Amino acid sequence: MTKEKISAGNATIAILIQTCGIQFAVTLLGIICAIIGHGMLGGAVLWLFIIGLIINGVAFLILALCIFFPNWLRKVIRKIMGFVYKIGFTHAKEWQKSIEKGLDEYSESSKYIKTHRKEFIQALMKTTVQIVLFFMIPFFVYKAFNLSGYNIFTLFTMQSILFVATSGLPIPGAIGASETVFLSLYGAVFGEGLLSSAMLLNRGINFYWFVIISMVVVLINTVILRRVSGKDQLKKK
């Protein structure tokens, strides 16, 4: 964003609001769908879901504290790091400085959000709509195979549980884990004959297609920036 002459402050605000919106939507929908589809949770999927829900919930809580209660969060961090330092971790003071530096960078963003609460809430709602549409992809894959018997709410609930269960794993795009959980959750929906094909199509749409689009956009953007940079250098000469 800064390369495209967007100020660092505005870029930080945009990223903070977007991230906060995603964590809010994933956590909220995850809780609702877990209540509705509790029968789908079992075995390893249950534990992955709990871990994922905790991670997303904590991430949203930290972001909310950074935005609305930064001073209180700063005090808590100082107390925690003070305790950590006392029990023998000498690098605690450096960790504290690093964390507080990050909070300072978010201070301007938090001020903007506090004075534009309406826009912030609208951004949360828009992001929630985006996540809802994202979770509906398996239903359209289901219909693409000309299948019937399961409604959109059931498939939406499954995808929500799948996403939360795999989002807490430290794997880029949850590759491998997402496919495994899909096979576990959607087995009865697609049947043994179509399950693998449905998994590949679903992942192709909701992950690999985005990777391809992102790659193309980055390449085009890089070419444009180099041309603009080259023209600017020629003007200076």
pLDDT at 231: 61
Helices (H), the chain: 8-36, 44-68, 70-86, 92-115, 117-135, 137-144, 152-167, 177-185, 187-203, 209-236
Is residue 201 pLDDT above 90, yes or no? yes
The model's pTM is: 0.77
Neighbours of 181 (CB within 10 A): 23
- Give the residue from 206, 205, 182, 208 showing the smallest Cα distance to 194: 182
pLDDT at 4: 66
pLDDT at 58: 86
Question: Mean pLDDT across the stretch 214-237?
Answer: 75
CA dist 13 and 10 (Å) reads 5
User: Which percentage of the chain shows pLDDT scores above 90?
Assistant: 21
- Give the residue from 133, 134, 147 showing the smallest Cα distance to 197: 147
pLDDT at 147: 92
Mean per-residue pLDDT of the chain: 83
Contacts of 36 (CB under 8 A, 6+ apart): 153, 157
pLDDT at 236: 59
Q: Which structure tokens are listed for 126?
A: 């828009």
pLDDT tens for residues 140-198? Answer: 999 999 998 899 999 999 999 999 888 877 777 778 888 888 988 898 899 988 999 99
